[in-house]
């Protein structure tokens, strides 16, 4: 510090003062190590817990680094460093639960994954053993059905909004309602499907297609949104080029606009599938669960991975440990499916990304 102060007058006093005293670039790291070291030492001497040591180390850093900076660099830079430290702290804090979640799912889930776990259902199983084949198939069937319902409706509605409606009253109403639908709590979608099918088939109805309808209520707005955004990105020039060739509007949409937007639409749909594949609440209400394989979505309860996880954990009783182990295994499988879909969506988005430039 004294060195820096001596150097300043040495600079030519006539020139603009471009040199200001600075703490070295490695200062934040040094401060972090020092704070950690002091806290650890104190912790060892006074017998603190790990949590306490970390908290003290953090407090030392947040106070110490800006203080050091204030002494040398002045108040404004010190404030800047304080905020930087806090921003990175929030980041670290936010990462703790998220990292823990990822770690626990893998750690607790991987042990039980076996060919038996993936190919057997739970018929007659009480303690150990059994598998999630029935739930896996249920999730695949119901999600596939929901996709089959949502994608045509969602894509066509988006086409209406972008290509036909163009801000007329109906289009504005639909846009608003899609906004509302995006915010429907998933359990309310389940109640809707339940109420709907209760009115048709009488009370106590439970079947897979009902779940697909409920999931569609959640999925359609996502598909509409994604498709709408992508269609809007298609340059008006391409439509005009097609019209100028004497191509009718609907063929222009099908052959020019949709292919150009395809990558984004597929990405959006895949993300929507990933989102609803993990939905639990609506399925709990309208599909229920069962221990045996049921491949017919029009008849009777079906098991699904999310509901399987939920009921395994909440049933309790004598075999709680085995049930929880299976729940972790199912959670790992479910997370793997959802993550694969997400990565796939990104890959698709990259592959189909509009080729611009030359």
Partner 1 sequence: MSTTTTAPSAPTAVSRRGDSVFAGLATGAGLLIMLALAGVAIFLIIEGIPAISASGEQAYGKDNIVVYVWPLLFGTLLAAVIALLIATPLAVGVALVISHYAPRRVARPIGYLIDLLAAVPSVVYGLWGRAVLAPAILPVYAWLADHLGWLPFFDGPARTGRTILTAAIVLAVMALPIITAICREVFLQTPRIHEEAALALGATRWEMIRMTVFPYARSGVISAVMLGLGRALGETMAVAMVLSASGLVTINLISAENPSTIAANIALNFGNASGTKVNVLIFSGLVLFVVSFAVNFLGRWIAARGQVKA
Partner 2 sequence: MATSIDISDLNIYYGDFLAVEGVGMTIRARSVTAFIGPSGCGKSTFLRSLNRMHEVIPGARVEGKVVVDGQSLYDPSVDPVAVRRQIGMVFQRPNPFPTMSIYENVLAGNRLNSKRMKKAEADDIVERSLRGANLWTEVKDRLGKPGMGLSGGQQQRLCIARAIAVEPQVLLMDEPCSALDPISTAAIEDLIHELKSDYTIVIVTHNMQQAARVSDDTGFFNLKAAGEPGHLVEFNATSKVFSNPDDPSTEAYISGRFG
Q: Are residues 126 and 299 in contact, defined by beta-carbon separation less than 8 angstroms?
A: no
Sign of CA dihedral 160, 162, 165, 168: positive
Of 151-210, which residues contact partner 2 (CB under 8 A)?
166
- 27 vs 191, beta carbon nearer partner 1: 191
C-alpha 121 chain-centroid distance? 29
Residue 350 interacting entry, from partner 1, partner 2, none, C-beta within 5 to 8 Å by type? none
Which are the contacts of 73, defined by CB distance < 8 A and separation ≥ 6? 20, 21, 22, 23
Q: Which residue of 19, 33, 101, 347 would you call a contact of partner 1, by CB under 8 A?
A: 101
Q: Which residues of 228-255 are buried (b: 16+ CB within 10 A; e: fewer)?
A: bebbeebeeeebeebeeeebeeeebbee
Question: What residues numbered 234-293 form the site for partner 2, per CB under 8 A?
Answer: 235, 237-248, 251-252, 255-256, 259-260, 262
The verdict on 183 binding partner 1 (CB under 8 A) reads yes
CA distances from 39 to 32, 46, 48, 61, 101 (A): 11, 10, 9, 10, 27
Structure token digits, residue 92: 């670290």
| Residue 180 touches which of partner 2, partner 1, none (Cβ within 5-8 Å per kind) | partner 1
93 binds, among partner 1, partner 2, none (CB under 5 to 8 A by kind): partner 1
Per CB under 8 A, does 88 bind partner 1? yes
Does 350 contact partner 2 by CB under 8 A? no
- Contact window for partner 1 (CB under 8 A) among 9-17, 30-38, 129-137, 305-313: 305-313
- Cα distances from 145 to residues 38, 74, 224, in angstroms, run 60, 64, 17
State the residue for tokens 């909004």: 161
186 binds, among partner 1, partner 2, none (CB under 5 to 8 A by kind): partner 1
**Residue 327 contact among partner 1, partner 2, none, beta carbon within 5 to 8 Å by kind:** partner 1
Q: Which of 105, 113, 140, 344 binds partner 1 (CB under 8 A)?
A: 105
DSSP state of 234: S
Among residues 53, 137, 222, 271, the one that binds partner 1 under rule CB under 8 A? 271
The interface partner of residue 241, options being partner 1, partner 2, none and the CB cut-off 5 to 8 Å by kind, is partner 2
């Amino acid at each position: 510090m004294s060195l820096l102060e001596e150097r300043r007058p040495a600079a030519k006093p006539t020139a603009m003062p471009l040199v200001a005293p600075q703490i070295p670039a490695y200062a934040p790291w040094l401060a972090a190590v020092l704070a950690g070291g002091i806290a650890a030492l104190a912790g060892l001497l006074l017998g603190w817990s790990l949590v306490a040591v970390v908290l003290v180390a953090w407090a030392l850093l947040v106070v110490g680094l800006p203080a050091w900076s204030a002494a040398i660099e002045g108040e404004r830079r010190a404030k800047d460093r304080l905020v930087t430290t806090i921003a990175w702290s929030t980041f670290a804090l936010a990462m703790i639960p998220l990292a823990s979640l990822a770690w626990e799912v893998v750690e607790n889930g991987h042990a039980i994954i076996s060919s038996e776990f993936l190919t057997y259902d739970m018929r007659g199983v009480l303690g150990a053993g059994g598998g999630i084949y029935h739930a896996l198939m249920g999730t695949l069937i119901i999600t596939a059905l929901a996709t089959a319902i949502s994608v045509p409706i969602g894509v066509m509605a988006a086409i209406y909004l972008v290509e036909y409606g163009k801000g007329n009253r109906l289009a504005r109403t639909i846009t608003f309602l899609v906004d509302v639908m995006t915010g429907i709590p998933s359990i309310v979608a389940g109640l809707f499907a339940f109420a709907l099918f209760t009115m048709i088939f009488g009370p106590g109805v439970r079947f897979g297609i009902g779940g697909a309808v409920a999931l569609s209520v959640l999925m359609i707005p996502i598909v509409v949104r994604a498709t709408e955004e992508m269609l809007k990105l298609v340059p008006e020039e391409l439509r005009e080029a097609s019209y100028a060739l004497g191509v009718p509007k609907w063929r222009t949409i099908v052959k020019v606009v949709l292919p150009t937007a395809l990558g984004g639409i597929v990405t959006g749909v895949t993300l929507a599938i990933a989102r609803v594949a993990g939905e639990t609440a609506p399925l709990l209400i309208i599909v229920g669960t069962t221990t045996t394989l049921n491949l017919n979505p029009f008849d009777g309860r079906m098991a699904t991975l999310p509901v399987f996880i939920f009921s395994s954990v909440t049933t309790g009783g004598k075999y709680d440990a085995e049930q929880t182990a299976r729940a972790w295994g199912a959670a790992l499988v479910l997370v793997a499916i959802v993550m694969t879909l997400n990565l796939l969506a990104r890959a698709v988005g990259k592959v189909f990304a509009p080729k611009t430039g030359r």
